[in-house]
Amino acid sequence: MGNQICIGFDEQKPEHSQAKKIDNFKSNMKIFVGPILHSFSPSDLRILNPGTIAVNNLGKIEFVQEGVHSDQLLKKFNLTSEHVTVLKENQFILPGFVDTHIHAPQYVFTGTGYDVGLLEWLEKYTFPKESEFKDSSHAHSSYQKVVKRSLRCGTTTACYYATIHLEGIYLFPNSLTVSFLASKILANVVKSVGQRGFIGKVNMDNNSPDYYVEKTEDSLNDTSAFIEYVNSLNSDLVKPVLTPRFAPSCTSKLMSGLADISREKNLLIQTHISENCGECEWVKNLFPEQNGYADVYKHNGLLNEKSVMAHCIYLTEEERKLFKEVNAGISHCPNSNFSLQSGVLNVRQLFREGITKVGLGTDVSGGYSASLLDGMRQSIIASKVIHMKSRDAAEENICEPLTFKEAIYLATLGGAKVLNLEEKIGNFEVGKSFDALLIDLNVGENGTSTIDVFRHDKIEDLIEKFVYLGDDRNISQIFVAGKQVMRSNERSQQYLQQQPELQFESFNIPEHSILRRSNDVNITTSELNITAEISRRIQRQNYRNIISARIRRLSRQPNSVNSLSHSSSTNNEESAVVSQRNYQSLSRTADSWISLAGNNELIQNENRNLNTTINNTVSNIDINYNNQNPLNHEEYFVSRRERLNTLIDRLNSNAEVFNRMLINTNLNINRSNIAYLNRNNSVNHNASTTSRRVNNNSPQFGSKVVCKIFCKFCKIKVSSRGMKAKLLADLKISSFSTDFNSNCVSLVNSEYKNGKCLCSICDFACLGCGNVIGYHVNQPCQPCLKACNNGHLWIFNSDHVYSVDENILWATLKLSDRDATDNRMEVCR
Ligand SMILES: O=c1[nH]c(=O)c2nc[nH]c2[nH]1
C-alpha cells in the first residue's frame, strides 16, 4: 500500500487544505545520498560518487547533483533528517530497467522448449500455450507470476505482449458471477503491482492455427475495446500498445487497420522483424510486391517513430537507414536470439551508424530469463561473438565489444528511448520520474549474495560486478514514479494473494444473456453453467470436508457414540436400524444441499461422493460400536439420535450456514497464516495505542454519511462505520476510512513509513481472503495528528473495497461509540 499517504481526510476539506497540500509536497520529499549512476548516451555513463538526489511527493526528481547536499535541501524545504537516506557502503542507485519486449503468457513455459528454431517453436510450444489464456483464472495466476518476477528483477517499465484474447470466462466458486477479462487481466495486474507498462492485445488473422486465430474485423474491434479498457484504468503508468504479432500472421488489412488506430490514438506499435532467416524468406514470399520486411511494415503504416521493433538481426543497410530516418526503435533480445538460434544482432554497427534508439528485451520466453541483468550480459556476449568474427576475418572495421557501461545504457535510457519515454524516465534528470533501483551488494552478509567485495574494489568495479554477477537479491529497493514497490516482505505476502478466485472484479449476469463473442459463437449463461459447476465443486468439496469433520468430532465427544460404546448392550439390530435411519436422513440432507446446485452429471458425481463419505463415516461409528459391544443401548441410541438429528438440523438450516462456515474457515486459515508470517517477520503490531490521541471531534464530519465497507475480493463486510475520504497530501486519492479496528481485518507485515509524511503505518489484510486492502496509522506524525481527521486511522484503499451508504450521518452515530478509545473493536460480520 506504499503509495498512500497516511491519514485519510474528509472530502469536505478545511479552508487551509491547499496550504497543507503544499506543505506535504515538501514534507514528503525523499533525499538519497550516495553513489548514483545514470546514462546520457551509450558512451556517457555518469557516476556521482557521492551524489544527492531529491524526489518530491509526485515522484519527480527535484534535484540531482554531485556531492552531499542534504543539509542545504533540508534547510530549503524545512525538512528533518528523517527524509534523508544515506546509502551504506557497497550500495548505489541506478535507473530502473526497461524491458522493451516481453511475452507475458509465454512465461508459463520459460526455460523449456529450446530444441527448435523460431517458426517450429511457435507452432510446437507457443501457440498452444498462448491459446490457454482464454481461461481467465489461468491468465490471472500466470500473469501475476510473470509481472511480479519481472518487477522483482528490477524492471520498472515493461512492454508486454498478452494474447489474442480480449475477454475470458471466470466463475467464482460461490456464486454465478462472471468476469470479463483475459488480456485485460494483464493490464490490471501490472497496475496492481505498481509497474510502469505497455500492454498489447496480440493481433493474428493469418497463417495461424485454427485454435488461435481471429477474424480481421474481430481483431480490430477487440483491439479498440482493449484500448478503451486500458485507458479506463486511468493510470499514469499503464498504457495500451498495438501488437500485430509479425507480418506472417497479419493480413495487410489488419496491419493498416492497426496503423489507423495508432495514428488516431497516438499509440506505440510493437512487432517482430527480421529475427530468423526462414521467417525473412517467408515474408518475401508472402509480400512479393514489397521491397523487403521493413517495407511491408512501412507500406502498411506500421514503421515510424512509434514502432518498437523486436530483433532486427537481418535488417539490410538500407533498412537500417530507413529505421534511422523514421526514428523507429529497436528492441535487442540477445537471450532469445541465442536460445532460438536466430542470429546475433550487431549493436556496435547500429551505434556506429548513429542508431541509438536501441534497448533490451528479455523476450520471455524465446529468452529464458525475465531479468535484464541477464539481458545486459548476453548483449555483451553477443557483441563479443560479432567482435571475434570481425577480428578473425580481419575486417577493416573491427567491431569492438559492448562495454558494461553501454549495456547499462541499453537497459535504461536506451529502453526509455525505444518506448518514447525518454522525457519521463531512463536517467535522473530533474523533472523526470524517479524510477530507480537501490542496489545492495552487502546481502552477502546473510550468505545470499553472489558477489564478494574486496578492499581494492572501486565504485566502477562494484557496478561492473553487479552487471556480471548480480541478481534480484541485490535489488534491495525498487521505485516507480517515486513510490517504493514490491518491498521485500511482499514476497511472503504473495502467498496469501495467490488465492486465484478472489482477485477479480465481477458482476452478476442475468440468465441467458450473451456473455461473449468468440469466433462467432455466442455463449449464454446456461452454457456457462457447465463451467460454473466446476467452480461449485470446490465449494462442495469444502462442504463435504466440513460434514465429515463434524461427524468425526461428534464421534469423539464424551457421551457420544464412542464413549457410550463402553456401556453394555446386546441390541445390535436396533442399533443398525437407527443408524440406517440416521444415515438416510443425513444423506437426504446432503442430497438437498447438492440439489441446490443443479442437476447435471458433475453434481451427481459429487452427490455420490458425498453419500459415500457419509456412509463410510456412519458405518465406522457402527463398526466401533459393534466391536466394542456397548452395554447401554438405550442411552446410546438416544444420544446418537439426538446428536445426529442436531447435526442434520444444523446442516439443513440454510445456505447461509455453509457460506458462513466457509468464511469462518477462511478467516481462521488467514488469521493463522498471517500470524505465522508476522511471527516469522517478528512484527510488532500496535494498532490501537494511538487512537485515543487523534482528533475525533471535528464538527465538519457530522454531515457525512456513514457507509458499510466491503472487501472487493471476497465481498465480506469489513466495516459498518466507514466514511468516504480523501488523502490530504494528495487530493486525487480517494479512499475510505474508519475509526474502529474491525475483527475482519488483520495487520500484516512490518510497520513502515512511506516517505510522504512521518506517520508510521502498517498494512492490513482482509481476513476473508488474505488480500491487503488498506493500512493503519500506528503512530501519526505531528502534522497529521493535529489535522482534523475524525479519529480515522484505518484507511481502506478504494481500489480494493467498495461501500454501501447507510441511512445514518456521522453526527448521529452514538457518542459512546465515537468516544470509545482503547481496544476499539468492531464485530462486523
Ligand atoms: O521471439 C519471438 N517470439 C514470438 O512469440 C514471436 N512471434 C512471432 N515472432 C516471434 N518471435
If you ran DSSP here, which 8-state letter would residue 541 be given?
A: H
Q: What gap in Å lies between CA 644 and CA 350, rounded to an integer? A: 80
Give mean pLDDT, residues 153-161. Answer: 98
The answer, yes or no, to whether any atom of ligand 1 lies below 6 A from the CB of 810, is: no
Q: Measured from the CA of 336, which atom of ligand 1 is nearest?
A: 1
Rounded to 5 degrees, φ, ψ at 401 are -65, 155
Q: What local confidence, expressed as pLDDT, does residue 184 receive?
A: 84
What average pLDDT does the structure give for the chain? 76
Over 80: is that where the pLDDT of 110 sits? yes
Q: Which residue has the cell 574494489?
A: 457
* C-alpha of residue 455 to centroid of ligand 1, in Å: 45
Quote the pLDDT of residue 757.
77
**d(C-alpha 15, C-alpha 308), whole Å:** 48
pLDDT surpasses 80 at 749? no
Pocket test for ligand 1, best of 246, 277, 309, 312 (most atoms within 8 A of CB): 246
Please tell me the number of Cα atoms within 13 Å of 821 on its side-chain side. 8
Q: Is 335 in the pocket of ligand 1 (CB under 6 A)?
A: no
Q: Which atom of ligand 1 is nearest to the CA of 126?
A: 5
CA of 18 to the centre of ligand 1 (A): 51
Residue 349: per-residue pLDDT: 97
Quick check: 196 pLDDT over 80? Answer: yes
Distance 165 CA to ligand 1 centre (A): 17
Residue 728 is predicted with a pLDDT of 60
Residue identified by cell 523476450 is 363
Over residues 497-508, the mean pLDDT reads: 31
Cα–Cα dist 784/655, whole Å:
45
SS3 assignment, position 45: strand
Q: How far apart are CA 395 and CA 392, in angstroms?
A: 8
Pairwise CA distance, residues 337 & 343, whole Å = 5
Query: How far is ligand 1, taken at its centre, from the CA of residue 118, in Å?
Result: 7
* pLDDT at position 69: 94
Protein residue with least CA distance to atom 3, ligand 1: 366
pLDDT in tens, 213-262: 999 999 999 999 899 989 988 999 999 999 999 999 999 999 999 999 99
Phi, psi of 108 (to 5 degrees): -65, -20
Q: Indicate which residue's Cα is closest to atom 2 of ligand 1.
A: 366
Q: What is the mean pLDDT of residues 33-39?
A: 97
The answer to whether residues 244 and 258 touch, using CB atoms and an 8 Å cutoff, is yes
pLDDT tens-digit map of 45-75: 999 999 999 999 899 999 999 999 999 999 9
Q: Decide whether any atom of ligand 1 lies within 6 Å of the 366 Cβ.
A: yes
For ligand 1, the distance from its centroid to the CA atom of residue 132, given in whole angstroms, is 17
Q: Is the pLDDT of residue 379 over 50?
A: yes
Could you give the CA distance from residue 712 to residue 212 in angstroms, rounded to a whole number? 33
Q: How far is the CA of 500 from the centre of ligand 1 (A)?
A: 28
Which contiguous run of DSSP H or E holds residue 530?
A: helix 525-556
Average pLDDT for residues 793-806, to the nearest whole number?
Answer: 89
Average pLDDT over residues 341-365: 98
Distance 539 CA to ligand 1 centre (A): 40
204 lines ligand 1 (CB under 6 A): no
pTM above 0.80, yes or no: no
Other beta carbons within 10 Å of 782: 10
270 touches 262 (CB < 8 A): no
| Cα(737) to centroid(ligand 1), Å | 47
Question: Collapsing DSSP states into helix, strand and coil, what is residue 631?
Answer: strand
Residue whose C-alpha cell reads 574486496 in the numeric block: 454
Strands 84-86 and 30-41, sheet pairing: parallel
Q: How far apart are CA 760 and CA 758, in angstroms?
A: 6
pLDDT bin (cut points 50, 70, 90) of residue 498 is: very low
84-86 and 61-66 beta bridge pairing: unpaired
Output the pLDDT for position 667: 52
Give the DSSP letter string of 596-615: HT--SHHHHHHHHHHHHHHH
Q: Where are the alpha helices (DSSP H) in 558-654?
A: 561-564, 572-596, 601-628, 633-652
Q: What is the 3-state secondary structure (H, E, C) of 285-343?
A: HHCCCCCCHHHHHHHCCCCCCCEEEEECCCCCHHHHHHHHHHCCEEEECHHHHHHCCCC
| pLDDT for res 746 | 75
**In angstroms, what is the span from residue 473 Cα to ligand 1's centroid?**
30
Q: Cα(2)–Cα(755) distance, rounded to whole angstroms? A: 9
Apex CA 53: angle with CA 49 and CA 57, to 5°? 160
129 lines ligand 1 (CB under 6 A): no
Phi, psi of 82 (to 5 degrees): -65, -15
Distance CA(560)–CA(32), nearest Å, equals 68
The three cell numbers locating residue 155: 524492471
**Residue 633 has what pLDDT?**
43
| Neighbouring C-alpha atoms within 13 Å toward the C-beta of 527 | 9
Q: Is the pLDDT of residue 127 over 80?
A: yes
| Amino acid residing at 504 | F
Contact 796, 718 (CB under 8 A): yes
pLDDT beyond 70 at 170: no
Task: Give Dmax over CA atoms of the chain in angstroms.
Answer: 106
Q: Is the CB of 126 under 6 A from ligand 1?
A: yes
Structural contact between residues 169 and 137, judged by C-beta atoms closer than 8 angstroms = no
Q: Which is more confident, 690 or 415?
A: 415
> Does the beta carbon of 309 sit less than 6 angstroms from any atom of ligand 1?
no
CB-based contact 562:622 (threshold 8 Å): no
Ligand 1: which atom is nearest the Cα of residue 363? Answer: 1
Distance 427 CA to ligand 1 centre (A): 30
* Among 383-392, 456-465, 788-797, the least confident range: 788-797
Helix, strand, or coil here: 664?
A: helix
Amino acid at 343: G
Cell matching residue 59: 515522484
Is residue 245 lining ligand 1, measured as CB closer than 6 Å? yes
Sign of CA dihedral 641, 643, 645, 648: negative
Residue of 245, 336, 338, 365 to test ligand 1 pocket, by largest number of atoms within 8 Å of CB: 245
Integer Cα distance of 271 and 261 in angstroms:
15
Q: How far apart are CA 586 and CA 785, in angstroms?
A: 58
Q: Would you say the CB of residue 246 lies under 6 angstroms from ligand 1?
A: yes
| Ligand 1 mean position, distance from CA 283 (Å) | 14
Least confident range from 131-135, 314-318, 345-349, 819-823: namely 819-823
* ipTM of model: 0.98
Closest-CA residue, ligand 1 atom 10, reads: 272
Q: What is the pLDDT of residues 617-676, one digit of tens each?
A: 455 545 555 554 443 444 444 444 454 444 444 444 333 434 444 455 445 444 544 454
Distance 12 CA to ligand 1 centre (A): 53
Measured from the CB, is residue 275 less than 6 Å from ligand 1? yes
Ligand 1 and 130: CB distance under 6 A: no
Bridge partner residues of 745 (DSSP):
766
Which atom of ligand 1 lies nearest, measured to the CA of 279? 9
Give per-residue pLDDT as tens, 549-582: 444 444 433 323 322 222 233 344 444 444 444 4
Q: Is the distance from the beta carbon of residue 776 to the nearest atom of ligand 1 less than 6 Å?
A: no
How many angstroms does the Cα of residue 382 sit away from the middle of ligand 1?
19
* Per-residue pLDDT at 818: 39
Q: Which residue has the cell 471466470?
A: 170
**Is residue 336 lining ligand 1, measured as CB closer than 6 Å?**
yes
The pLDDT > 90 percentage for the chain reads 49
Alpha carbon of 272 to ligand 1 centroid (Å)? 7
pLDDT of residue 616: 54
Evaluate if residue 517 carries a pLDDT over 90.
Answer: no
pLDDT of residue 50: 94
Question: What torsion, rounded to 10 degrees, do the Cα atoms 408, 410, 411, 412 define?
Answer: 80
- Give 440-482 pLDDT, tens digit per residue: 998 755 567 789 999 999 999 999 999 999 999 999 999 999 9
Q: Which residue has the higher pLDDT, 370 or 19?
A: 370
Report whether residue 319 contacts ligand 1, using a CB cutoff of 6 Å: no
Q: Predicted confidence band at 770 (pLDDT cuts at 50, 70, 90)?
A: low
Between 416 and 232, the higher pLDDT residue: 416
In eight-state DSSP terms, residue 785 is H
Q: How far is the CA of 295 from the centre of ligand 1 (A)?
A: 19
Average pLDDT over residues 36-43: 98
Instruction: Tell how strand 155-161 and strand 196-200 pair up.
Output: parallel
Give the mutation target among 108, 272, 286, 337 for probing the ligand 1 site: most ligand atoms within 8 A of CB.
272
* Residue 362 beta carbon below 6 angstroms from any ligand 1 atom: no
CA 559 to CA 557: how far, in whole Å?
6
Indicate if the pLDDT at residue 284 is higher than 50: yes
